[in-house]
Amino acid sequence: MARAGAVWVLGLMSGTSMDGVDAAMVLTDGEGIEAFGPSQALPYGPGETEATVAVFRDWRAFRPPRDPAHAARLAEAGAEVVANHAAAVVRLLARAHEVPEVIGFHGQTVAHAPAEGWTWQLGDGERLARVLNRTVVWDFRSDDMAAGGEGAPLAPFFHFALARHIGAERPIAFLNIGGVANVTWVNPAAPAPEAPGALVAFDTGPGNALLNDWMERRTGRALDEGGRAAATGRVDRGLVASNAAGAYLARRPPKSLDRNEFALALERLGGASVEDGAATLTALTVETVAAGLGHMPAPPARWLVCGGGRKNATMMAWLAERLDAPVDPVEAAGLDGDLLEAQAFAWLAVRVLRGLPTSAPSTTGCRAPVSGGRIARP
């Protein structure tokens, strides 16, 4: 039986890979998780993100102060984002029995610059609310940044709920290996995610971004499928060490990265073979994750991995060797690693509606717990 106050909510997410919109439903009161509902990934079709990709690739030209000539293209990109997300909602609801009370809309990140105090997501929640005739919670990051936070990561509060949902009793870590890798250390015995000692969250370093860029540059395909290239390569330990000993890794969390922060490591590979480069960049991801152990109150009893990295068998095996703890894809705990971020923004939307915190000093560096997000009603 669902707890009092639990509602169905639909979350949306489009990552910086810009390959489609993930949509997922969750039954929640904004604290616990009662059930996961239907979900799906809606890939973008040809031409559906043309304006959005143009802004993403040349974001500096579109950032204020803007050339008036860019206004039309920027408006077109914003309209694309809304149209694509609306289509994902319509498609999911066509086969769902549940009716969402609210929609959590993250928008499309164009750039994130916490050191400069700004973040940019395309997509107007007011417009999406009108198109769908439903309440939309959006702009999740701005209030956190206004309170001195980095605006990211926002999934850690959801990770706390997940740890409780799967019955964890000892500290565990959720490791998301996307373009950038980020980790959330969770103490499930804490009374709430904003409580002192409940969470530590930060970007660890490169995830798949450098590896994918290397593979695309050398093979034309932006993926080391299954980690097969890395498995047969030789790691350049000197290059790994020189890139895994920088000021960022020593800095205490919370902290967050841009996708290209470690791009110099890619250039230093020079004329390495495809396999040696893949092995070296995979090892760099593993070593920077391991360096994060020094920022945790206690070693996690288990690591649950989401994001594309969990499908890289070589990366997963090397992580298990280096972390000296069980390292499993989140599916081993009954979760869906492909839809976790969409589910997170569904859950966070309910917290915004109820005025509950969505970030805290231990996750983003904000001065005090913040309930971020704007509410758009149709």
Q: Are 21 and 41 in contact (CB under 8 A)?
A: yes
Residue 316 CA to residue 305 CA, distance in Å, equals 9
Q: How far is CA 277 from CA 271, 313, 316, 327, in A?
A: 9, 17, 17, 24
- The string of DSSP letters for 149-177 reads --S---THHHHHHHHHHTT--S-EEEEEE
* pLDDT given at position 118: 84
* pLDDT given at position 4: 57
The residues that bridge with 205 in the sheet, in sequence order, are 181
In a 10 Å sphere around its CB, with 0-12 CB exposed, 13-18 middle and 19+ buried, how is residue 248 labelled? middle
All domains of the chain in start order, with CATH: 7-150+346-358+368-376 (3.30.420.40), 167-333 (3.30.420.40)
H or E stretch covering 183: strand 180-186
pLDDT in tens, the chain (378 residues): 345 589 999 999 998 778 899 999 999 999 999 999 999 999 999 999 999 988 888 888 887 666 777 888 899 999 999 999 999 999 999 999 999 999 999 999 988 888 888 888 999 999 999 999 999 999 999 999 999 998 988 999 999 999 999 999 999 999 999 888 999 999 999 999 999 999 999 999 999 989 999 999 999 998 999 999 999 999 999 999 988 877 888 999 988 887 777 888 888 998 999 999 999 999 999 999 999 999 999 999 999 999 899 999 999 999 999 998 999 999 999 999 989 999 999 999 999 999 999 999 999 999 999 999 999 999
Neighbours of 131 (CB within 10 A): 18
* pLDDT given at position 2: 45
* pLDDT given at position 57: 84
In a 10 Å sphere around its CB, with 0-12 CB exposed, 13-18 middle and 19+ buried, how is residue 126 labelled? middle
DSSP state of 94: T
